A and B are shown apart, each in its own frame.
Chain A
Amino acid sequence: MRQRISFVLLLGVIAALAIIAPLLFPGYRTQMALLWVMVIFALTWDVVGGQMGYNSFGNVFFFGIGMYACAVVQRDAGLDYYTGLAVGVALGTALAVLAAAVIGAGLLGLRGHYFAIGTLGLGIAAAEIAASWEYVGAGSGLVTPVFPGNIEDRTLFYYGLCLIVALLTFFTLRWLYAGRFGLAINAIRDDEDKAEAMGLRTTRYKTIAWCVSAFFLGMTGGLVGNMMGFIDPRDVAFAGATFGVWMVLMAILGGKGTLWGPVIGAVVFHVTQELFWTYLLGWQRVALGLLIVLIVVFFPQGILGWLRERRPDLFGHRVEEAERGA
């Protein structure tokens, strides 16, 4: 009960901040919207990478698919701005999920390092294909339609959408982790052979997990493309070296395999990164690289993982001597 109250309180504080902050600091709205995007990145990576133990370096692939599909719909469908955006995001999401289902059937048969390497190729190949495919603008990229309104409204509009998708992602995952799905992918992480020996439909769970990840990434891709206004195949859509690596880092930093870990990791990472840009200009990449090394060496378990090792009782891992039913 006490846990429930503090959870609701915490959400209340976050919601208040999320609504007040962009109104108080209009200049930082896009940065704050990107913060929610980072939260989505970390949360969706953690479904497969943390909770299921399949380290994926290709999740940015689904993000890029959503982004391109949405932009193409907006360009070619001849709909008004909002309808075009809605249809584009819906189609982008559907395509990303479809891609996850099809590719997952092949890649999810690989385990451990082989899976990681297989997915690494995914993002790189997609970037190269997009960069040479005339229909999607090839190397010169795509420009998204102009927002019908002033800049202020535009940033607020996309801030709101990113916030909504981040909340949707968080609560969907919270629901899934509490039930059979969550335990099944945890079981696959801990011992996949055992899970099979117990009769679990492991392939089905793995594919669904990958699709859940792709669903929210595809959706976010469509929004981010419009927020940025310009889609570059290598630096925005299939940005494996930035977004693709960050999603892994943020989840690890916060504590992979936990619900709150990726959220905390994303906030800490994004804020730190912005501070580096502001105060260490010219050295920001060096500082970021150093931070990554420090994270991996000193916090391999992440912030929440570190806490759980030291205080397992806070996470409910304690002996209860009371008799059953007493």
Chain B
Amino acid sequence: MAQALLEVEKVSKRFGGVVANRNISLAVPEGRIVGLIGPNGSGKTTLFNSIVGHHPIDQGSIRFEGREISKLRVPEVARLGLLRTFQQTRVYDKMTCLQNMRISVPSREVSFLDMFARFAPEVDERAEALLEFTGLYAKRHLRAGDLSFGQQKLLEFAMALMAEPRLLLLDEPTAGINPTLINGLIERLKRVNADLGITLLVIEHNMRVIMSLAQHIYCLAHGELLADGPPEAIRDDQRVIDAYLGAH
């Protein structure tokens, strides 16, 4: 098998006596959409935090484009092109949507002098195009904190795209979003993957969403990898069903 974009190998992470992740291995090949599911408290977000360098891992190895990243700090990992969005949605709430987008341009290309410069017109061009893509164009001059929760979620997504990541980790992209908008969001995620070539690793609780979105799914339970496979196989896997019903 060719080298995957992201390779997580035998990663363990404990907080005091609680083992949040034990011996987890997964691979996200370039250009794919991979899902990560599991009951509450199964260690999905902990794994995300480990991948982006939010906290050190106890054991194992995390490689991005073949490069070991488990020792790097959050901003360094982000500058390599590995970004995450937050479960609790984080935007810069006192800044306007457009400002939120502008400051999200990739930091790896910013030289020392650029830090004092103004933004190029192309930046605004791209920011507006992405705001239109997420349906926020009319609200571009509103402060992000004045948007509804669902709109903030879309803005955070647009900001992540603005940063031109190679791999995007999405932590529950549809949580709190109006059910009628979810189909539109699935459509956009697929387009981002197909048209912009951004690889996605998605945590999701909504089974309908993840089954129609992901090409490969990993399922965690109690901090361990329970099963992995294509969506159909996961849906019919007795261990996964048991885990969700609390038999595990």
Judge if B107 is at the interface, Cβ distance under 8 Å: yes
Q: Are the CB atoms of A197 and B83 closer together than 8 Å?
A: yes
Residues of A near B84 (CB, < 8 A) are 197
B177 at the interface (CB under 8 A from A): no
Report the number of A-B residue pairs with Cβ-Cβ less than 8 Å: 110
Contact of B90 among A178, A183, A191 (CB under 8 A): A191
A198-B78, A199-B106, A319-B142 as given contacts; A179 in contact with B116, CB under 8 Å: yes
Complexed CA–CA distance, A202 and B79 (Å)? 12
B159 pairs with A204, CB closer than 8 A? no
Question: Could you mark each residue 59-96 of chain B with 1 if its beta carbon is under 8 Å from any beta carbon of chain A, else 0?
Answer: 00000000000000011001100011010001111111
Interface of chain B: mostly helix, strand, loop or mixed? mixed
Query: Is B1 positioned at the interface, with any CB of A under 8 Å from its CB?
Result: no
Q: Quick check: is A80 within 8 A (CB to CB) of the other chain?
A: no
In the complex, the answer to whether B94 meets A186 with C-beta atoms within 8 Å is: yes
* Bound Cα distance A178, B79 (Å): 24
Contacting residue for A199 out of B78, B96, B140, CB 8 A: B78
- A179-B116, A187-B95 in contact; A198/B128 too (CB < 8 A)? no
Contact A198 B83 (CB under 8 A): yes
Known: A183-B103, A184-B103, A199-B75. A320 touches B116 (CB 8 A): no
Q: Is the CB of A198 within 8 A of B159?
A: yes
Residues in B96-131 with C-beta less than 8 Å from chain A: 96, 99, 102-104, 106-108, 110, 114-119, 128-129
Query: Could you tell me if B119 and A198 are in contact, using CB atoms closer than 8 angstroms?
Result: no
Given A201-B107, A202-B75, A205-B115, check contact A183 B86 (CB 8 Å). Answer: no
The distance from the CB of A1 to the nearest CB of chain B, in whole angstroms, is: 17
User: In the bound complex, how far is the Cα of B114 from the Cα of A186, in angstroms?
Assistant: 17
Which one of B74, B94, B119 contacts A190 once the chains associate, using CB atoms below 8 Å? B94
Chain B, Cβ-Cβ closest to A176: B116
Measured between beta carbons, the chain B residues less than 8 angstroms from A197 are: 52, 74-75, 78, 83-84, 86, 90
In the assembled complex, the CB of B113 is this many whole angstroms from the nearest CB of chain A, namely 10
Interface size on B, residues (CB 8 A): 42
Q: Is A267 an interface residue (CB 8 A)?
A: no
Q: Kindly state whether residue A235 has any CB partner on chain B within 8 Å.
A: no
1/0 per position for B202-241, CB-CB distance to A under 8 A? 0000000000000000000000000000000000000000
B138 interfacial by beta-carbon distance below 8 Å: yes
Report B132-151 CB contacts with A as 1/0, cut-off 8 Å. 10000111111100100000
Q: Which residues of B have CB within 8 Å of A322?
A: 138
Q: Provide the bound-state CA to CA distance between A57 and B240, in Å.
A: 56
CB <8 Å contact, A184 and B115: yes
**CB-based contact B94/A257 at 8 Å:** yes
Q: How far is the CA of A208 from the CA of B110 in the complex (A)?
A: 15
User: In the assembly, what is the distance between CA of A289 and CA of B69, in Å?
Assistant: 54
Whether the pair B163, A317 counts as a contact (CB closer than 8 A) is no
CA distance A187 to B119 in the complex (A): 15
With A186-B92, A191-B92 already in contact, the answer to whether A204 and B99 are too (CB < 8 A) is: no
For A184, list chain B residues within 8 Å (CB).
103, 115
Give the residues in chain B near A317, CB-CB below 8 Å.
96, 141-143, 146
Give A197 to B79 CA distance when docked, in angstroms.
9
Cα distance A213–B102 when bound, in Å? 24
Which residues of A sit under 8 angstroms from B94, Cβ to Cβ? 186, 189-190, 257
> Which B-chain residue is minimally distant from A194 (CB atoms)?
B90
Point out the residues of chain A lying under 8 angstroms from B146, CB to CB. Answer: 312, 317
Determine if A152 is an interface residue (Cβ-Cβ < 8 Å).
no
B residues less than 8 Å from A205 (CB atoms): 115
Partner of B118, one of A178, A204, A312, A318: A178
| Any B CB within 8 A of the CB of A76 | no
A115 interfacial contact with B, CB 8 Å:
no
A50 CB to nearest B CB, Å: 11
CA gap between A181 and B47 in the complex, in Å: 33
**Considering only CB atoms, which chain A residue lies closest to B52 in the complex?**
A197
Contact B99 A201 (CB under 8 A): no
Q: For the complex, what is the distance from the CA of A184 to the CA of B141, rounded to whole Å?
A: 18
- The closest CB in chain A to the CB of B90 belongs to A194
- What residue in chain B is nearest A322 (Cβ atoms)? B138
Given A197-B83, A199-B108, A208-B115 in contact, is the A180-B103 Cβ separation under 8 Å?
A: yes
Instruction: Select B116's contact among A180, A189, A194, A321, beta carbons within 8 Å.
Output: A180
Q: How many Å lie between the Cα of A178 and that of B138 in the bound state?
A: 22
Chain B residues in 8 Å Cβ range of A193: 90
18 contacts between A and B (CB under 8 A): A179-B117, A180-B116, A180-B117, A180-B118, A180-B119, A186-B94, A187-B92, A187-B103, A191-B90, A194-B91, A197-B75, A197-B90, A199-B163, A200-B103, A201-B107, A317-B142, A317-B143, A318-B142
Return the 10 tightest CB-CB contacts between A and B, nearest first: A199-B78, A190-B92, A183-B103, A194-B90, A199-B107, A179-B118, A199-B79, A196-B74, A196-B75, A187-B92
Beyond A180-B102, A191-B93, list 14 extra A-B contacts (CB 8 Å). Answer: A179-B119, A180-B103, A180-B117, A183-B102, A184-B115, A186-B94, A186-B99, A197-B86, A199-B106, A204-B115, A257-B94, A312-B143, A317-B141, A320-B138
Q: A residues within 8 Å of B by Cβ?
A: 175-176, 178-181, 183-184, 186-187, 189-191, 193-202, 204-205, 208, 257, 312, 316-322, 324
